[in-house]
Amino acid sequence: MSASHVAWYTVRASGYTALVLLTLSMALGLLLSLNVRSARWPRFLTNDLHAFTTLVALVFIAVHMVSTVLDPFMHFGLAGALVPFASGYRTLGMAAGIVAAYLMLAVWISSRLQRKIGWRTWRALHYAVFAVYVLAIAHTLITGEDASTVWGRWIMAGSVALVAALTALRAFGGRAVPARAAERST
């Protein structure tokens, strides 16, 4: 296997891994906002898992971007991977991914600074995760070579269904599941 093949597979695998981790982070964040609780799983663990999942997603986004730059076949270069609309390859899709990465990094940084910037500012900035998610899905659909494969479609469909369902539940007045009710259902 050549270096070009390794880079290409790394670009694809890290991109889909980042998307799955972003989906998990979105789901955990939405569950936290719905105030879903369980006596068996303390809220601080869900907060920590949400933060960790987001950080690992950012790591995979970085791997995705670096492997894109290092791919000897595509010749993206730094500008093509870091500057929106600088790539000649599927320009709109690449721009969506780059902007999503920057927004996600900004949201993550704001979470680290939450005590300094205040809860209201943090919360307002945190809503950018929905733009991150939509842009990431657009990036995958437009740019992703595997978006047309069966497994790629299933990952995308599952991701969109989960995030859309939890977002709808949150937007349309979903109520917290009482700890006792959660215990009975397990």
Name the pTM for this structure.
0.88
Task: Say what the pLDDT of residue 164 is.
Answer: 97
Query: CA-to-CA distance for 51 and 129, rounded, in angstroms?
Result: 13
Specify the pLDDT at position 174: 60
How many whole angstroms separate alpha carbon 68 and alpha carbon 81? Answer: 7
The pLDDT assigned to 179 comes to: 44
pLDDT for the residue 147: 87
Contact 126, 107 (CB under 8 A): yes
**Per-residue pLDDT, 181:** 43
pLDDT of 182 reads 43
Q: Which parts of the chain sit beneath pLDDT 70? A: 174-186
User: Domains of the chain: which residue ranges?
Assistant: 3-185
The DSSP secondary structure of the chain, one letter per residue, reads --HHHHHHHHHHHHHHHHHHHHHHHHHHHHHHHTT--BTTB-HHHHHHHHHHHHHHHHHHHHHHHHHHHH-TTT--HHHHHHSTT--SSSHHHHHHHHHHHHHHHHHHHHHHTHHHH-HHHHHHHHTHHHHHHHHHHHHHHHH-TTTTSHHHHHHHHHHHHHHHHHHHHHHTT--PPPHHHHHHH-
